[in-house]
Amino acid sequence: MTTPAADGPTPRLTLRTSPSGEATHDTFYEQVGGRETFARLVQEFYRGIAEDPVLKPMYPEEDLAPAEERLLLFLEQYWGGPTTYSDTRGHPRLRMRHLPFAVDFDARDRWLSHMRRALDTLNLSPLQEGTLWDYFERAAHAMVNTVDPDHTSS
């Protein structure tokens, strides 16, 4: 077990410059390119949402820009960037915030499909991409709150 360094918190994920190289000690947010990377991810993701006949109606605003900004702020904070999301919106409470919407297996799969496509545009390292994808899969499964008996879980 390691203890945090005196000069700051232990990063959530340690990446190495090469298989036997030195560890980097910045946050995952910084390691993947910070705001620019997450903004590209979210922008590409919402391009898919805008055309999705199942997911688009779940957004109360006609303009997806407010939702895009909320997701960007959330992801930045989650991965070690600025805390603007919590500073302006409070605790994320993801499941509670999604309860008003019927998120079934089809909606989950569509959300994941759009996120996968967006993630594939970033050209991240396999470790970085896998780390993000693992989180997105877990988060999407956790948001399911409606079971459609005609669609089984994958």
DSSP 56-114: GGG-SSSSSHHHHHHHHHHHHHHTTS--HHHHHH-S--HHHHHTTS---HHHHHHHHHH
Which residue is listed with tokens 């994320």?
92
Binding residues: 141
CA dist., res. 132 & res. 124, Å (int): 10
Q: pLDDT digit string (tens) for 2-20?
A: 444 455 544 455 554 555 5
Binding residues for heme: 141
Note the pTM of the prediction, 2 decimals: 0.76
Q: For residue 64, which of 44, 86, 84, 49 has the smallest C-alpha distance?
A: 49
CATH hierarchy code of domain 30-143: 1.10.490.10
Q: How far is CA 11 from the centre of its chain?
A: 18
- Find out whether 24 and 17 touch, Cβ atoms under 8 Å: yes
Q: pLDDT digit string (tens) for 77-120?
A: 999 999 888 888 877 676 666 666 788 999 999 999 999 999 99
Tell me the two tokens of residue 97.
């915030």
